[in-house]
Structure 1
Amino acid sequence: MKTLLDYFLGYVIITIRGKGIERFINLAVQRGIRMWDISWMKDGSVRAKVQLSGIKALRHVARKSHCRFRIGQRQGLPFWVKFFQKRKMLAAGAIFFVLSLYELSSFAFSVQVTSPEPLKIVNEQMIKRLAEEKGIKPGRPKWLMDFKAAEKYLIKEVPQLTWVNISAQGTRLCINVVEKVMPEPDEKNNKSGNIIALKDGIITEILVMKGEPLVTSGDTVSQGQVLISGIITIQEEFPLEEEPLGKVEKVKADGIVRARVWYRGYGECPLVESGKTNTGKKAQSIKLQWGKRGVVIWGSAAPEFEYYISDTNRRKLTLWRNITLPVEIITTTCWEQEVYKTVRSQEDAWQKAVNAALLAARRQVPAQAKIISRQLKPVEEGVPGLKRAYVILETEEDIGKFISIE
């Protein structure tokens, strides 16, 4: 820490000659002049480093100790400032170079798809195309990219992926993916097991292709109950025996089991609703901060919006590889909001509550299920100024699910 402080304050390397060098050093220490890296040379002189602020006081020390010193090298920030003050064009060029280097390092120039194992199902070009739809593409600033949103989008759009991670390595974007491990066809087909109920319901139809049925049409079943057993008994008859012997065999149960299933949904809507909503306008600012100090280099420190929500992104300033400066770039995005108040009639609020309840119920219904009937029940007015609805959807669907026998 002292070395960094000495660099900012500036220091010089001096060579001391004379008969009273020891007295020179003692007097300097007594006056609080910091000297370090003191070394004796072969010719009897002494070389040492001294803070820039102590040079003037050393002149009096040299006269009292009958020594003389000569300034050799000059090191530190003050000397660089003085150097560039005389060469303003060179200073402007250096600042422009550093800013250009930083600006270029904030852009992504390539996108790479990697995986621990070679991809067998998913195409790399498809992953890059889907990532580009969420803004993950070359030639775009990295601080404008939402890696988490892109990861969720890839998982949603590509069911064959089980894990996605997007990271920035310098100017390169790496999309790390892991494919789902699919069982081999032979291995899957050779497993014996049962057909169980995926959910509660009342059986309407059962078609057994292989296995032994344990339920019939009209039975009420619960989730996890065995519908078609994969354990069957083969009767073997012998003429000399009174009763046939049963041989137990495990097979892969197969069949279709259709049942009536009910789904419930709840919805509500207030007669008077107020709150805040986004207008679509936004303001952005970029702030350069070191320690407790900072300066806004782009945009406004405070948005002109009366109501707004904000999102802040902090990033350390990196010159090259792992060299990080104690400076942060803070990007703040503010979205304008406006206050609204909506007054609804009794009929309008009731219809919106019904639609919300229907939407909540239909989200639970599988795509292959057939909706048979819909039952609408108003909820008793327990909260003033609020309409509530309760919907029950009756469907007919295949509730059978194969599960292997351990």
Structure 2
Amino acid sequence: MVLLRLFSFLLGHVSLVVRGEFLEKFVNLAASRGIYLWDITRLENDKVRVKVRISDVRPLRHIARATQSSFKVRERRGMPFMINRLKKRKLLAIGGIAFLITLYFLSSFVWFIGVTGNDKLSDEQIKKIAAQAGLRPGVAKWELEPKEIEKIIREQLPSVAWAGVYIKGTHVIIEIAERKLVQEEPHKGPAHLVAGKAGLIKEVLVLNGQAKVKEGETVLPGSILISGEILQEVKPEASNQPLPEGQEPSAPQYVSHFVQAKGIVRARVWYEGYGECRLAETVEKRTGQEKISFCIKFRGKEIIISGPKESPYQHYEVKKIVKSLPQWRNIGIPVEVTTVHYLEKVVSRLNHGLTGAKQIAEQKAMAEISAKLPKDAKIVERRLEVVDTGQHEDLVRVKAFVETIEDIGVIKPLKTHEEARD
């Protein structure tokens, strides 16, 4: 059936409306003479619509006379009719053929290059190396050697463990896998334990090193909490001879011993956050509905291929994606393809009231503080204050204050005297 319809399209077929009292006889007689009729549809008691090949229209006239019927051509379909129409519009036919040839010619080149799989390396870095290997916009696809491009990318970028180059139409996708770098080991040499933030010392537990602060002291960021330099007194050798009259004992001497300071220093730390919310506000939210429009821009003229010319929604958001063909052999191609997404929005008015606005402002203030808190921080006090500006406004302002107890120690490497001299 499919082959017969395809054959009918190539040779051409027409749609006929047959009128008469003996329509069944008309159809049967046509079938007995080898005339193929299809899509037979009864329109009225004395009228049917049928489709038949062009070559069978003339024999049907004799059958119509024999069955006292008549028919009229309502529709013409198929290749012969298309060719006849194109003969009348030669410029259109020439333009269509030229367009197809140009499209085929342009599809033989690479116009777009994409990169996937990269994390630390930028797309520009990878594209720059690929360009050195001959992969750049405007290059002919038959000139590309994917294996050679992959090899050059691996050689030029040591952090790339694997690379793959895939040609998909006018696009080339460069897929890479980066090497996983070994994380740096924690510092093992001499170091101080310093304050990572300001606070009031609550507890000091020294595991290694010498404490420099005690409970109740206030420290600033960078203050040494536990020193990695331990001073040991060097005692002079004992002598039984008394000191000469008027001579005082010599000042004690110390020797530095360097270690990596270790310990736990907990302190009281304060945080402050701010949040605000209006008593009533307009909120926009996407509905999930969208319309997409495709447009081609050539020499300043825009032609909409499909989709609406303007947004069909009252409230909407517009996202445009413009792609232009890159230069080919220093020849600019003034063609741009624009995809416009019209995203529907619903606009609503929310009246929070004084209580609701205050709750939202408090949540915002606490969220700002939560973003700063370390995981091991213990909250001991939380306080919220409404900010009164002394002016009448439909806005609630809230400040949040949080006190925590947390370990504020941070390792800071130090240089010994020998290293400093070197």
Identify the TM-score tier after normalising by the shorter chain.
Answer: 0.5 to 0.7
How far, CA to CA, are the matches of 2:307 and 2:376 in structure 1?
53
For residues 229-265 of structure 1, the C-alpha deviation after alignment (integer angstroms, 9 at most, x for no partner) is 1222112223337564310233221111111111111
Match 1:227 to one of 206, 225, 228:
225
1:387 paired to 2:393: no
How far, CA to CA, are the matches of 1:112 and 1:323 in structure 2?
32
Equivalent positions of 1:5-404 (< 5 A) are 85=93, 94=101, 97=104, 111=116, 170-174=171-175, 182-184=183-185, 188-190=187-189, 192-240=190-238, 242=249, 244-317=252-325, 325-381=333-389, 382-404=391-413
Give unmatched runs, 5+ long, in structure 1.
Answer: 1-80, 117-160, 162-166
Shift of 1:267: 1.4
How far, CA to CA, are the matches of 2:338 and 2:95 in structure 1?
32
For residues 321-352 of structure 1, the C-alpha deviation after alignment (integer angstroms, 9 at most, x for no partner) is 99762211112222222322111222222222
Q: Aligned-pair RMSD on alpha carbons?
A: 3.8
How far, CA to CA, are the matches of 1:318 and 1:308 in structure 2?
32
Q: 1:336 to 1:177 in 2, by over 3 A?
A: farther
Q: TM-score, normalised by structure 2?
A: 0.55
How far, CA to CA, are the matches of 2:357 and 2:119 in structure 1?
51
How far, CA to CA, are the matches of 1:292 and 1:93 in structure 2?
22
How far, CA to CA, are the matches of 1:383 and 1:173 in structure 2?
60
- Read off the aligned partner of 1:202 and give its amino acid letter: L
How far, CA to CA, are the matches of 2:113 and 2:101 in structure 1?
20
- Read off the aligned partner of 2:188 and give its amino acid letter: N
How far, CA to CA, are the matches of 1:294 and 1:86 in structure 2?
22
How far, CA to CA, are the matches of 2:105 and 2:321 in structure 1?
22
Verify the 8 A CA contact 1:114 1:174 in the aligned structure 2: no
Q: 1:320 to 1:218 in 2, by over 3 A?
A: same
- Read off the aligned partner of 1:384 and give its amino acid letter: E
* % identical equivalent positions: 30
How far, CA to CA, are the matches of 1:297 and 1:327 in structure 2?
14
Which protein is richer in strand relative to its size?
1
- Read off the aligned partner of 1:305 and give its amino acid letter: Y
Q: 1:179 to 1:358 in 2, by over 3 A?
A: same
How far, CA to CA, are the matches of 1:235 and 1:272 in structure 2?
71
How far, CA to CA, are the matches of 2:388 and 2:328 in structure 1?
66
- Read off the aligned partner of 1:395 and give its amino acid letter: T
- Give the equivalent residue in structure 1 for 2:142: none
**More deviation, 332-341/364-373:** 332-341
Verify the 8 A CA contact 2:385 2:398 in the aligned structure 1: yes
Shift of 1:184: 4.7
For residues 141-182 of structure 1, the C-alpha deviation after alignment (integer angstroms, 9 at most, x for no partner) is xxxxxxxxxxxxxxxxxxxx9xxxxx9994214458686674
Q: 1:276 to 1:100 in 2, by over 3 A?
A: same
- Give the equivalent residue in structure 1 for 2:42: none
Specify the structure having the higher radius of gyration (Cα).
2
How far, CA to CA, are the matches of 2:91 and 2:111 in structure 1?
28
Shift of 1:93: 6.2
- Read off the aligned partner of 1:232 and give its amino acid letter: I
3-state SS of paired residue (2:334) = strand
Shift of 1:277: 3.0
- Read off the aligned partner of 1:394 and give its amino acid letter: E
Verify the 8 A CA contact 2:283 2:350 in the aligned structure 1: no
Verify the 8 A CA contact 1:232 1:248 in the aligned structure 2: yes
Verify the 8 A CA contact 2:113 2:174 in the aligned structure 1: no
How far, CA to CA, are the matches of 1:86 and 1:295 in structure 2?
20
**More deviation, 212-221/277-286:** 277-286
How far, CA to CA, are the matches of 1:371 and 1:230 in structure 2?
30
Q: 1:175 to 1:396 in 2, by over 3 A?
A: farther
3-state SS of paired residue (2:325) = strand
3-state SS of paired residue (1:267) = strand
